[in-house]
Every structure is written in structure tokens, then in C-alpha cells.
Amino acid sequence: MICAVGGAVMSPVLSKTRNQPRDDRLEICRIHRGAEALCGAATISAYWIFPTILLSSQWLGVFGNATPLRGILAAALIAGVYLAIKSAGRRFEIDARKKPTSLIVDYWSLRVVTLTGLLSGAWGLVVWLLWQDGNVANHLFVSLIALSVVARFLISRSVQPAYFAAAVAPLTILLFLRAATSFTPQDIALAAVVCGYAAFVARDTRHYAQKLDATVEVYYANQDLAQELKKARDDALLKTAEAEQANILKTKFMANMSHELRTPLNAILGFSEMIAREKLGPVGSSRYLEYATDIHISGEHLLTLINDLLDVAKIEAGRMEIAPYLMETSQALDSSLKLITARARERPQTVVLRIAPDATRVYADERAFKQILINLVSNAVKYTHEGGQIDIVAERNAAGEFQLMVGDNGYGIPKAKLVDIFNPFSQVDNRYDDERQGTGLGLALVKGLADVHGRRAWIESEEGKGTRAFVVFPAPPDVEDRRYA
């Protein structure tokens, strides 16, 4: 469609009643409608001119007695305009396939209006050529033929005001002058009817044109909006892909660095332990034994941090593999708590463990379960004042799933911090225990390991009133684990 071809500027020929910039595509659509209407009118003219001449000339004489010469002149006039319009139409189709420039838009706006005026004027001259004085039937016939040719395509195509004026004005003026100069009551009445008919068509055509313009404007506005939405979607997808790629690179970097760091760290741990235990003989000064012990302790802490980083990287990359099975709850809890109850006694804090009768077994990966418990209890110890209490409860929830809760009566977590509490490296400032600040990976691992099990973890806390952390594990499968068969 020619209407889909974008333009460069608006035509100076068309109406400029609005101050806002006009869509150049709408401008091309208007030119196309005018050109299409003009070609249709030219084709109708070529068909109707010959029966009009035959019926109003001496050849048949039904509606007049014009001389053959006048008939030939009328036919030649319409044929000449017809050929000019068809030639211009072919050229317009070629130009419309290109991206219109300012010159092309202005040129075709003016040319379509000019050719429309020529066709209208040609039919006005046909009326003069075939007019027979005193023959009312002749006057009505040629007038109706001329008006119907022009008015039919005006109403059906709904051209713009400039095209309408070019189509109606020449014919109306020539027809009015011809009827008015006959000085008969019938012709004067005909002239008045012609003026009234022109005004009537002008009103309807203007209204119809405005409705069509509004429809086209809405169409292009929706098209522009769709393009903007598509661009926004593509930009969002691109940004998402870039973010995902950056996250993948970050995860790979963390995994690679964790592996690279663990190799020399294992050597440090091994040699420091050998020195601390003096396996190859006395080291001499007791200070060296103390330093070797400090190196070993620091190395173990660093190894724990590296392992946490590696686990976070595996979880984010979707490569964390677990092997859940049905295990004894008390055994898993006792073996894990041995590692951290010593820290609780140092503060001193009370650790209370309660296992519900229906929660004696848990279906989980043993290493992941212990790591979740150690991280949660370590946080509770860290963020609970001296002499506080830490509760560990294992029970079944309403859905029959195993639920682990670790609660404390410590300082609690501010509400603003709860939103990001499970993000890696997110920390809650512990103004009461600066020496025990962690890395911010513990809760991220808890949530990640819960997700790997297909369940969830969450925290309930209020500043100054303690914290409760919950982790849900899936219910055991229908077939009991072989270890307990």
C-alpha cells in the first residue's frame, strides 16, 4: 500500500490549521487517497463521455442536438486529461515505492490537486460544448452526468479539502455560469441547485475526511507505540542477556578462584599443622608453635570461606548436586551442634533442642542439612547477647513437610534489612559483637540449599525481640530409604 510509505515533510498545499507537527505518513496517505480518487474519476470519465456525447448530439439526439465537432472536441478534451492522469499515476506508483523526500511530497501534492482541477474543468467545458439553449432535458442530463462523475468519487474516496476544492470548484463554477447565463427560470433554478449540491457534498466530504484522518492517525499512533514497545522489549532482553552473561562470568570466576585458592591453602594447612604438632622435631621457640597454630586456625577459616563461595557459585550456576535420603533427625542435629555449642558456651548462651515425635526423620542431603543448621545456629549465637537462649525445633508443618526452626531472643533484625537478608554478602550490622562479623554468605547458602531441595527458607524478626529462621524440607517419598528398611 502506498499509504504505508513514510514521507519527509508535510505538503504546503494541504490544510495547516493545526500548529502541531503533522505525521508525514498521514500526509502520504492523503496524497494516495487523492491520487486513487483521481484515477477512478478519470476511468469513469473515459467510459461515460462517449454515451454522453451520443445521447446529447446529432448522432442520436435523445438529450440534445450538439454538432459532431463539439462532440469530438468534448471527447478529445476528456481523453487528453485521462491520458495525463494515467501517466502521472504510473509515475506516482514508482515514486511512492521510494522513501519520499520533501521535494517528492510537495511535488505530488501540487500535481494531484492540479490534475484534479483539470478533470473538473474538462467536464465543465463538456457542459458548455454539449449545452443546447432552450432544451431543459439537455441541461439536466449533461449537468447530472458531470456532477455524478465528480461527486461519486469525492464521496466514496473522501479526499482532503484541497482536493475537494480542485474537484468541485471548476465544474461548479462553469456549470453555474452556463445555467445562470441562460436567463430562464428553469436554468436559474438549476444553477441554485448546483450551488446547494456543492455545499451539501462539501459538508459530507469534509466530515468523512476528518473521520478517515482520525482513523489513520490512530492506526499510525498504535503502530508507533508497538514499535516503541518492541524496542523497549528488545532493549530489556538485551540488558537481561548482558546481566545474565555477567552473572555467569562472575559465577565462573568465583568457582575458578575458589578452586585455585584451595590448592595452596591445603598446603598451608598441612604444613602449619605439621609444625604445630612438631612431627619432624622440635621447632625451638614456643612462639613458633603459637604462630603455627594461628596460621592453621586462620587457614581453616579461610578454607570455610572459600568453600562457602564455591557453594554459592554452584547454586547460582545450577550445578549444586544433592543426594537426599531419609536420615535420623537427632543424629544429624547432634553431630552438627557439636561444632558450634562450644561458641555458645563461651558467651554463655543456652541452646535448647526439641524434636517433635512426628519429625524423628528428615529427607534431605546430609551435608546440606548440616550446613544449613550450622549457619543458622552460628548466626543466632553471633546476634544474641550473652546469657541469651537459642531454640532449635524440628517438627512437621500442616502440609506434612519437615520444618526446622532456629530462634533466639537476641537483638533482632531491622525491617529494612529483611528484604535483602538472603542476598550474598548482605550483612546485618552487629554493633554488640564487631569481632564476630561474617562474610554475608551464610543465609545466602541457607536459602540456596533450601531451593535445591525444592522448598523454601524465610526469616521472621523484629528489632529488639529476637529472630526466628525457618527452613522447610520435602516430605519423604512413598518408598522408604533402604537404609531404614
Write out the DSSP string of 79-138: HHHHHHHHHHHHHHHHHHTS---HHHHHHHHHHHHHHHHHHHHHHHHHHHHH--TT-HHH
332 pLDDT higher than 80: yes
Least confident of 131-135, 312-316, 438-442: 438-442
Q: Look at residues 128, 124, 185, 120 and name the one whose alpha carbon lies nearest to residue 159.
A: 120
Average pLDDT over residues 120-131: 90
Check pLDDT > 50 for residue 34: yes
- The pLDDT score that the predictor gives to residue 425 is 63
Supply 278's cell numbers.
Answer: 612438631
Domain ranges of the chain: 2-182, 247-317, 325-484
- What is d(CA 107, CA 466) in angstroms, rounded to the nearest whole number? 81
Closest C-alpha among 98, 53, 85, 97 to residue 72: 53
pLDDT-above-90 percentage for the chain: 12
> What is the largest distance, in Å, between two alpha-carbon atoms of the chain?
144
- Please state, in angstroms and rounded to a whole number, the distance separating the CA atoms of residues 344 and 363: 28
Name every residue whose Cβ is closer than 8 Å to that of residue 117 and which is 6 or more positions away in sequence. 166, 167, 169, 170
In this predicted model, which residue has the larger pLDDT, 469 or 252? 469
In terms of pLDDT, which residue wins out, 48 or 480? 48
Name, in order, each residue with C-beta under 8 angstroms of 183's C-beta and a sequence gap of 6 or more: none
**pLDDT recorded at residue 481:** 44
Q: Which helix (H) or strand (E) holds 472?
A: strand 467-473
Output the pLDDT for position 81. 92
**Dihedral (C-alpha) 104, 107, 109, 114: value to the nearest 10 degrees?**
-150
Over residues 393-419, the mean pLDDT reads: 87
48-57 pLDDT, tens per residue? 899 999 999 8
* 405 vs 298, more confident: 405
Model confidence, pTM: 0.47
CB neighbours of residue 86 within 10 Å: 14
**Other Cβ atoms within 10 Å of 80 Cβ, number:** 12
Mean pLDDT of 143-164: 68
Architecture in CATH for domain 325-484: 2-Layer Sandwich (3.30)
Mean pLDDT value across residues 134-160: 73
Residue 366 has pLDDT above 80, yes or no: yes
Q: What is the mean pLDDT of residues 157-168?
A: 69
- Tell me which residue has cell 581453616: 300
The Cα angle at residue 158 between residues 156 and 163, in degrees rounded to 5: 125
* Cα 121 from Cα 123, distance rounded (Å): 5
Q: Is the pLDDT of residue 196 over 60?
A: yes
Span 423-427, mean pLDDT?
66
Asked if pLDDT for residue 152 goes beyond 80, the answer is no
What is 306-369 written as a DSSP string?
Answer: HHHHHHHHHHHHT------EEEEHHHHHHHHHTTTHHHHHHTT-EEEEEE-GGGSEEEE-HHHH
Determine the pLDDT at residue 14: 38
pLDDT at 213 over 90: no
pLDDT tens readout for residues 367-381? 889 889 888 888 888
End-to-end CA distance of the chain: 77
Burial 179-199 (b: 16+ CB within 10 A, else e): beebeeeebeebbeebeebbe
Mean per-residue pLDDT for 87-114? 80
The cell for 276 is 604445630
Percent above pLDDT 70 for the chain: 82
pLDDT, position 402 = 92
Q: What is the pLDDT of residue 424?
A: 67
Q: What is the mean predicted confidence (pLDDT) over 26-33?
A: 75
Contact between 63 and 137 (Cβ < 8 Å): yes
Distance of CA 468 to the CA centre of its chain: 41
Query: What is the rounded (10 degree) CA torsion for 23, 29, 30, 36?
Result: 170
Side chain identity at residue 220, one-letter code:
Y
pLDDT, residue 130, reads 92
Band the pLDDT of 72: cuts 50, 70, 90.
very high
Higher pLDDT, 195 or 145: 145
Cell of 365: 542431603
Burial label, 61 (beta-carbon count in 10 A; 0-12, 13-18, 19+): middle
Residue 472: closest CA among 420, 374, 396: 396
* Grid cell in block for residue 217: 492517525
The candidate with the shortest Cα–Cα distance to 57, out of 165, 142, 182, is 142
Average pLDDT across the chain, whole number: 79
Q: Which helix (H) or strand (E) holds 471?
A: strand 467-473
State yes or no: pLDDT of 444 exceeds 70.
Answer: yes
Output the pLDDT for position 18: 45
**pLDDT higher than threshold 80 for residue 226:** yes
**Which of the two residues, 475 and 255, has the higher pLDDT score?**
475
Instruction: Tell me the CB-side half-sphere exposure of residue 325, using CA atoms within 13 A.
Output: 11
Tracing cell 526423620 back to the chain, one arrives at 361
Across 195-205, average pLDDT? 71
